[in-house]
Amino acid sequence: MQDVLAVGIPEAARRLGLSTRTVAALVSRQELPSRKVGRRRIIPVAALEAFLKGEHRPVPLAGTQGKAGSSE
């Protein structure tokens, strides 16, 4: 079997034992890194492993720094 580098939200939810809604919220809050490919959102398997180990931390997306929550 081939090693998979990234999975979609439903598969990430299954692997983490969480709901798809919870995983989508983690992605939305940037607590779980992801990448948009076409209309699909993928999450690196390494990011799932880091999340489980507690090594996750929010990472700003490129081009959005200073926009969210800004009072400017």
Condensed to tens digits (0 to 9), the pLDDT of residues 20-47 reads: 999 999 999 999 999 999 999 999 999 9
Does residue 8 carry a pLDDT above 60?
Answer: yes
Domain map (residue ranges) of the chain:
6-53
Place of tokens 């690196």: 44
At residue 72, the pLDDT reads 44
CATH topology of domain 6-53: Arc Repressor Mutant, subunit A (1.10.10)
At residue 35, the pLDDT reads 96
At residue 56, the pLDDT reads 65
Does residue 65 carry a pLDDT above 80?
Answer: no
